Every structure is written in structure tokens, then in C-alpha cells.
Amino acid sequence: MVIASDPDADRIAIVCRNDKGEWVIINGNQTNIMYHYYIINNMKRLGKLRPDMYVVKTIVTSELIRKIADNLGVTLTDEYTGFKWIANRIRMWEGKRKYIGGGEESFGFLPYDAVRDKCSPSAICLICEIAAYAKDNGMTLYDYLLKIYEDYGFQRETTINVVRPGKSGAEEIAQMMVDYRANAPKEIAGEKVIKIKDFKLLKQQELKDGKWVESPIEMPLNATSNVLQYFTEGGLKVSVRPSGTEPKIKFYFEIPVKSGKPFTGADYERCTAEAEARVPAIKASLGL
């Protein structure tokens, strides 16, 4: 296993060997999935899991984490992109509930609440603990990830960046968001859209019995963010968000693929290929 961080020691990157002995990159979503899965299961195994404990992810981070938290009876909150929002949640619930972990897909995680930003030193220690636990149980870190997919199903997370530099680019990106709001896709890659979330308007629309039902989205401080999300009947999730720091608009795809048990390295490669093969159709549905 190879672990790296950045100069300000907040992000973490992991590379490990697969079942063929080849080096593979563990992406930010997979890292967060392993962290949440281990922390919650370990608390449960040790008899320390309490009803007041909770975990956190950002709205563009893998929904697989929600499946894990729901299955193990732990509260999960969705926050806006940026660790300041995870820190805000810790502050809001300080003294009321116990934070046990949270992170985002961009290689950031915080396994404790002593600091209020993503923290690679503690995250590095935790991934080493996970690897040691896996070894004690006859697994590699890669095997441990496969076990999570075996338990909760496989999905592939992919991010597409569309760069539009300059003043005209900024205007084009703004218009893209206007157009997506005015003309939301009815289908994505052949799957019917059944839920739409608009974090700028703090409204959610859900298709129920053939009719769209609108409800409010509750976010801390009633803060808004220029983010749209589409969910399909097949489990596909697409998030659209203009970057706050660069001249680009970002599309986050979460693509589930049917998988069975056991889930092997060959299954991982097959499912990954099937998910990636769907990306062009998803992009076409969004006019990309």
C-alpha cells in the first residue's frame, strides 16, 4: 500500500495492489466508503455504537455511504461541498450528538472532532488501521473494498469537468444552469428521472404515482448552493455544480451496476467497465 498527502496535510491518496498484484488507485469516494464502513462496523463490533452517533458526507459524495449508515442504524447528514459545512454540522450538534466521521469525494476525511477540517495525519492512521484489520482477517485492503461492494452493491463514481474560460465562459456556464433548471431531463441514459433536487431554490420534486410532488429541502442556516441533482429509477445519480474557484462546471455521475455474491476482482473489473461504457449516454442526455 502507498499513501500520499499534499503539502498542507489535509488530503489523502491511496494506492494498493489488486488480486493480480497490480497497483490500483483508490479514488476519493472509495476511500470514504471504506472509512465509514470500518468506523461504523468497528463501533458496533466493540459494543460502542450509540443512537446519538452520526456520520457526514457532502451532497456529491457516494450514496453507497447512505446505504451503509442506514443498514447499520446510524444517522447520516448530507452537507454542501467544502469541509466548512462538515465543521458547521459538528458545531451545530456539539454537546448534543457524537460525530464519528465524515468526508468528501475530493480525498478528504476527518475521523474525529478535535479539528474542524479534513485531516490527512489522522486519516492516514485510520487507513493503516483498516489495512491491519483486513490483514488480521485474511484480506488485503483491496479485498476489503470488494467485501463492501459484495455487501452493498457496486457503483462507479465519475466526475466530468467542462472548462469554459473567460467572461464568455462564465456566462455560458451560468446559462447552462438556467437551461437545466428550465428544462430538466426526463430521462438519463434511457432511465426515467424520478427525483430532482435544486439546492439553489431548496426544493425537491419527486415523481409519485405519475405526479410530481414538491417538498422543501432543509439545509443548515437555510444556506443555498447552485447545485442540481437528478436521480433515476435505476439508481443513477447526476449532480451538476459550477466550480467556485475555477472556470468550469462539474458533473458528478454515480453509476450502479448489477453485481452478485461473491464479488471478486474480476467482477470489479467487469462492473467498472460496464459503468464507464454508460458515461457517453449519460453525457448525451445532458447535452455534453
pLDDT in tens, the chain (288 residues): 999 999 999 999 999 999 999 999 999 999 999 999 999 999 999 999 999 999 999 999 999 999 999 999 999 999 999 999 999 999 999 999 999 999 999 999 999 999 999 999 999 999 999 999 999 999 999 999 999 999 999 999 999 999 999 999 999 999 999 999 999 999 999 999 999 999 999 999 999 999 999 999 999 999 999 999 999 999 999 999 998 788 999 999 999 999 989 999 999 999 999 999 999 999 999 999
Give the pLDDT confidence score for residue 104 in this predicted structure.
95
- Cα separation values, 74 from 20, 54, 276, Å: 35, 6, 31
Orientation of helix 265-285 relative to helix 141-152, angle to 10°: 60
Q: Taking the alpha carbons of 26, 244, 85, 161 in that order, is the dihedral positive or negative?
A: negative
In a shared domain, residues 170 and 110: no
Global pTM reads 0.94
Residue ending a domain, among 127, 151, 175, is 151
In a shared domain, residues 10 and 138: yes
Residue ending a domain, among 151, 181, 210, is 151
Give the pLDDT confidence score for residue 118 in this predicted structure.
93
Give the pLDDT confidence score for residue 257 in this predicted structure.
97
In a shared domain, residues 95 and 224: no
Cβ atoms of 186 and 233 closer than 8 Å: no
CATH number at residue 247: 3.30.310
Beta-carbon-side half-sphere exposure of residue 8 (alpha carbons within 13 Å): 4
Domain that holds residue 279: 154-285
* Radius of gyration over every alpha carbon of the chain, rounded to an integer in angstroms: 19
Give the pLDDT confidence score for residue 133 in this predicted structure.
97
Orientation of helix 141-152 relative to helix 120-136, angle to 10°: 80
Find cell 439546492 and name the residue.
Answer: 199
In a shared domain, residues 146 and 159: no
Give the pLDDT confidence score for residue 260 in this predicted structure.
86
Number of folded domains in the chain? 2
